[in-house]
Amino acid sequence: MMRVIKVVSLNILLSALVLGKTQLPTFLKICHKSDTHFKQCLIDSIEALKPLMSKGIPEFGIPKCEPLRIAEVQVDLGNGPVSVKSNYRDIKVYGPSDFSIKNIKVDLDKDRLKIKLYIPRLEVNTNYTMNGKILMMPVTGTGLSFGNYTNIDATMSMAAKKIKRDGEVFYNIQECYIDFNIGHAKLRFENMFNGNTELGDAINLFLNDNWKTVASEIKPVLEEKIAEIFKKFANKIFHKYPISMLFPE
Ligand SMILES: *[C@@H]1O[C@H](CO)[C@@H](O)[C@H](O)[C@H]1NC(C)=O
Ligand SMILES: *[C@@H]1O[C@H](CO)[C@@H](O)[C@H](O)[C@H]1NC(C)=O
């Protein structure tokens, strides 16, 4: 009797293991290491995840990233002729999941991955408050701000460590960095100077002429937040499925 029970439970255990192994979600495209088109397979596999990144995958605890939300950012612009402090709250970023992959470099020995991405456009809508001086002129404003950052070339670098768990080896992404190169930005700050349109237009013109300075302040925050999304997303998958399953020989 004991023996039978043992055999039965072992069977259940085995089938659970086997089931667990074969049950890769259909949205994951498996890439074989021996595949001569391994790189292209990876590119296709990541591209196929875009709609999921945008909508999120509740079963995986992955929240949607369209729009990406950032609670608050403080920006301190210089202290020369242009010295402006601004605060952005309730930031919504549309477009991060609309990337395309230009190139990918995989170093399986060092567990490193470098991806060159192109993001056609990030639309950043936020509430702002601004205070300071531009060329001696006091500048104040509070209201809504809109920005379109276009033609973004990005390089993402990921470094992973292998971790052993239950006799299997998994990847853990430890570092993920993104570096943006923004092609152009168009900005609009509403309600500058309490709605004085003449002064408001002048400042908007000035800020757009100097978009590179404005963009360089918001860029590190966007880079960090978007890198965080990629890292979290990748780790949700890597922590769940062992390397042997995701990248079989
Ligand atoms: C942002 O502005 C909108 C419209 O004025 C307002 O409804 C919302 O509460 C503001 N959000 C924050 C965080 O201030
Ligand atoms: C950004 O693009 C959208 C869609 O084309 C447009 O409605 C909006 O006015 C643009 N914002 C700025 C600041 O130009």
Residue 6 lies inside a defined structural domain of this protein: no
Q: How far is the CA of 204 from the centre of ligand 1 (A)?
A: 21
Residue 68 lies inside a defined structural domain of this protein: yes
The pLDDT, as a whole number, for residue 6 is 47
Residue 128 lies inside a defined structural domain of this protein: yes
Determine what percent of the chain is predicted with pLDDT higher than 70: 91
Residue 10 lies inside a defined structural domain of this protein: no
For residue 32, give the CATH number of its domain: 3.15.10.30
pTM above 0.85, yes or no: no
Query: How many domains, in total, are found in the chain?
Result: 1
3-state secondary structure 197-215: HHHHHHHHHHHHHCHHHHH
Residue 16 lies inside a defined structural domain of this protein: no
Residue 201 lies inside a defined structural domain of this protein: yes
- Residue with CA closest to ligand 1 atom 2: 127
Q: How far is the CA of 66 from the centre of ligand 2 (A)?
A: 17
Q: How far is the CA of 148 from the centre of ligand 2 (A)?
A: 6
Query: Mean pLDDT over residues 100-113, rounded?
Result: 93
Nearest-10 Cα torsion for 171, 175, 181, 187: 110
The domain of 202 spans 26-246
Identify the residues whose C-beta falls under 6 Å from ligand 1: 89-90, 127
Q: How confident is the model at residue 77 (pLDDT cuts 50, 70, 90)?
A: confident
Residue 105 lies inside a defined structural domain of this protein: yes
- Residue with CA closest to ligand 2 atom 10: 148
Rounded mean pLDDT of the chain? 87
Using CA atoms, how far apart are residues 219 and 211, in angstroms rounded to an integer?
Answer: 11
- Residue with CA closest to ligand 1 atom 13: 90
- Residue with CA closest to ligand 2 atom 2: 148
Residue 14 lies inside a defined structural domain of this protein: no
